[in-house]
Amino acid sequence: MTWDSTNPYEWRRRWRGRLPWFLIELGIADKGRDCEAVGARHLWYNHDDENSGCYYCKVVRPGRLWEGNPG
């Protein structure tokens, strides 16, 4: 995954990939509320084979949206 300088939640995604889970569970580097609300794009992952979750924010949507992620 490359750095997305247009998404204000990018730094959180980077930290979440490096911090221990117990710190993330305490709220450090928590996900944003909604990328679209701040004018950014979602970056989807496979949440449960039926729904897509955003790496940057807390949004989860039905469907296999992760299949449309860029490169």
38: how many CB neighbours lie within 10 A of its CB? 13
Q: Tokens standing for 42? A: 């979602």
Q: Give pLDDT, residue 68.
A: 82
What is the rounded distance in angstroms from the CA atom of residue 19 to the CA atom of residue 69?
A: 25
Residue 22, C-beta contacts closer than 8 angstroms, at least 6 positions apart: none
* pLDDT, one tens digit for every residue, the chain (71 residues): 566 778 888 888 888 888 888 888 888 788 889 999 999 999 999 999 999 999 999 999 999 999 988 75
pTM (2 decimals)?
0.78
Q: Give pLDDT, residue 62.
A: 97
What is the rounded distance in angstroms from the CA atom of residue 51 to the CA atom of residue 13?
A: 19
